[in-house]
Amino acid sequence: MEPRGSRIARVAALLATVALSASPAFAQEADPIGALLEQAQTPPPPEPVAQPPAQAPAVETPPASPPPSSSAPVSTAPPPAVYTPPPAAYTPPPAAYTPPPVYNRPPVQAPLPYVNPPPTYAPPTYAPPASRRPRLTAPVHIDEIGKTPEGPPTATDLNYEARMRSSFNSAQGMQGPLDGAWTLRSGGSELYDLQLVDTGSGSLEGAWRDPRRRGAVDASGFIDSISRVGGQLTIRLTPRPGAAPSIIMLSAGNDGGWSGELNERGEHRSVTLRRN
């Protein structure tokens, strides 16, 4: 028996010859038999081989941490915040210097002189009232005791002098017993002239002058201290700048004077203090 493939090949060759000999119009028509023959000659497509399914890339999974033990405390604090430094303070750029405007000031005028200066006040002076006195026709000599160049004082002059003496005595009566001028002597020579101020309240002060150095700049000054305790009087003064002070220690006498000792530059001498 002829194989099936040979028969099919022979039939196909026959059909091809017939097709070539046919007219063009016939050749253009559909040939169902040729289509079947071509289908019979085409080997069947191979069956698809089953491919294994594609696997997804393996993803590394971090190892699971062991569960915390029951004894260790579980921290629930939030994660630490990230420190963000504050923005720097804005410093404005320095402004350009603008000199101040120059103003035209008016010229300074000198003060005008006083047209009519205020009058100068002068304290009034005392003028004794005019009295009738004899006019002198010749000079008055020193041996003419009952006659003065100005004539004898009138009743007005005597009253004025009496009022002045009374005021002085009243003011002097309010002072202490040491108020006034005193002289310190040793033998017959004067050592110091003292002017004391005694207000009667217990405080004493005064000044001194050295008659042995008349005309010297440092021959006078203030008394450093005066203290009176009962019938004892102590006077301390500095006779020269930078020198040791002189100390006078006196005791009250029955005649109103004082007597004692002077310590001057280490030299002791007996002295007396009498009112001038």
Q: What is the pLDDT of residues 152-176, one digit of tens each?
A: 778 898 999 999 999 888 877 777 8
- At residue 273, what are phi and psi to the nearest 5 degrees? -120, 120
User: How do residues 59-98 score in pLDDT, each as one tens digit?
Assistant: 555 555 555 554 555 556 667 777 787 777 778 788 788 8
User: How do residues 26-45 score in pLDDT, each as one tens digit?
Assistant: 444 556 666 666 665 555 55
| pLDDT of the residue at 91 | 82
| pLDDT of the residue at 114 | 59
| pLDDT of the residue at 53 | 52
CB 272 within 8 A of CB 185: yes
Burial 107-132 (b: 16+ CB within 10 A, else e): eeeeeeeeeeeeeeeeeeeeeeeeee
Strand, coil or helix: what is 111?
coil
Distance between CA 116 and CA 129 in Å, rounded?
35
- Looking at the DSSP bridge assignments, the partners of residue 268 are 263
The single-letter DSSP state of residue 123 is -
Smallest Cα–Cα separation from 38: which of 1, 2, 11? 11
* Residue given tokens 């050592």 in the structure block: 191
Structure tokens at 197: 């101020």
| For range 41-64, the mean pLDDT | 54
> Is residue 25's pLDDT more than 80?
no
**pLDDT: which is higher, 104 or 35:** 104
The single-letter DSSP state of residue 30 is -
The single-letter DSSP state of residue 178 is T
| pLDDT of the residue at 271 | 93
Mean pLDDT score of the chain, rounded to an integer?
75
Counting other chains too, the contacts that 258-265 makes at CB distance below 8 Å and 24 or more residues apart are 258/233, 260/233, 262/184, 262/186, 262/191, 264/239
Calculate what percentage of the chain has a pLDDT beyond 70. 64
Residues in the chain: 276
| pLDDT of the residue at 60 | 55
